[in-house]
Amino acid sequence: MANLVTSLCCVVLAAVVVAYAQRRSQLVARNQYERMGSDVTMQCGSLDNDASVSWKVNGTDVKAQHRLEGPRLILTQVNLSHNGLYSCFQNPHGERRDTIFLHIGIPPRELTVNCRSNTYPKGFYCSWHQLHATYIPTTFEVDVQHDQRSLEVQKDSVHKNRCHVLFPEVFSSFPYKVNVTAVNALGKASTTISFEESSIVKPDPPERVTATPIRFNPRRLEVSWHSPSTWPDIDSFPLKYFLRYRPLIREQWQHVELSDSTSHTITDAYAGKEYIIQVAAKDTEIGTWSDWSVAVHATPWIEDPLPITSTTEVDPIETTTSPIPSSNAPQKAEPPVGRAARLLTFFSPLLLGMLLLFM
């Protein structure tokens, strides 16, 4: 009897576990990837063909062009706007039976792949990018072959589309072959390139470039720089440099190629004009020139102007009170009315005598 009870308990527990697993599988969204522009069919769990269901996307009714066929939702000519979380509910009680996360994308296409050694002779790196977006997660597989054997490939910790490879030997005459394959849920595509060791050597630009005016030399600038810190062995694999400079008022550059020196004196600068200066680097025997360094600006020495001093002395202006005019000084003219009155007083006796004579 005890064994029977134990067996029944085990059967019931197993049924509960199966039911819970089925229920959980219905609640956890599953991913479905489909090609852009195609017609997409989503199946509501394992319901029979005659089941009646309703669908929602992101919690709302499906408004995109579609049709229902039993437990299936069919979307036509899908695009990125169809991305979303789709849920189906069995009628008439509205019990959720399935959840699907729909991702619309395209299969990978041919990649562009480039390899470069900025740490010669230590190793090189390869980078790649897709010419067309896939809109869905895409991974990359890299295979590097040299002299009929595969080399170890180390993925870059920062750039997901880059890997690093150590040179198995230096001055090898065998070419390298690099194959990069892009893979996603809708397909894959590969690109293969081949190159010789010497063709990919390209240092990083020189660092800490400075330009300093030279005192009492209005047409000279002293330029100095450091070799790139990524170049591992400057003594065994020296670099040569290329300097270019121009005044801001002109578009044409002047160039100077140097052996292994990390300084140069510009002797033909325009006095008083601001200059822009850059430097590039290259292995002395193989490879190509680096990109230009960060531009620096400098102006040749300018003599300080002498202070302006005045040579004209101005006498202070004194203010004095005018003295009272003397008797010989010109007197102020009297008003005409006063003069007439005095004349009349002078001639009045004569006028009186003449008047008495005629009487």
Residue-wise pLDDT tens digits, 128-149:
999 999 999 999 999 999 999 9
On whether both 135 and 175 belong to a single domain, the answer is: yes
Q: Are 184 and 134 a contacting pair, CB within 8 Å?
A: yes
Residues 65 and 136 in one domain: no
Phi, psi values for residue 211, rounded to 5°:
-135, 125
What's the gap between Cα 337 and its chain centre?
Answer: 98
Decide which of 298, 326, 351 is a domain's last residue: 298
Question: Are 61 and 31 within one domain?
Answer: yes
Rounded CA separation 264/241 (Å)? 10
Q: How far is CA 2 from CA 5, 9, 175, in A?
A: 5, 11, 76
Predicted model pTM:
0.72
**Cα gap 55→42, rounded to integer Å:** 10
Q: Phi, psi at residue 13, to the nearest 5°?
A: -65, -40
**Mean pLDDT of all residues in the chain?**
85
Convert the pLDDT of each residue in 16-44 to its tens digit: 444 444 554 446 899 999 999 999 999 99
Cis before 108? omega within 30: no
Residues 289 and 222 in one domain: yes
pLDDT for the residue numbered 306? 67
- CATH code of the domain in which 242 resides: 2.60.40.10
Grouping H, G, I as helix, E, B as strand and the rest as coil, residue 45 is coil
Short-list 134, 142, 194, 196, CA closest to 165? 142
The pLDDT of residue 10 is: 52
Q: Comparing 68 with 306, which gets the higher pLDDT?
A: 68
* Residue 239 counted as domain residue: yes
Chain segment 155-195, per-residue pLDDT in tens: 999 998 999 999 999 999 999 999 999 999 999 999 999 99
Which residues span the domain enclosing 293?
207-298
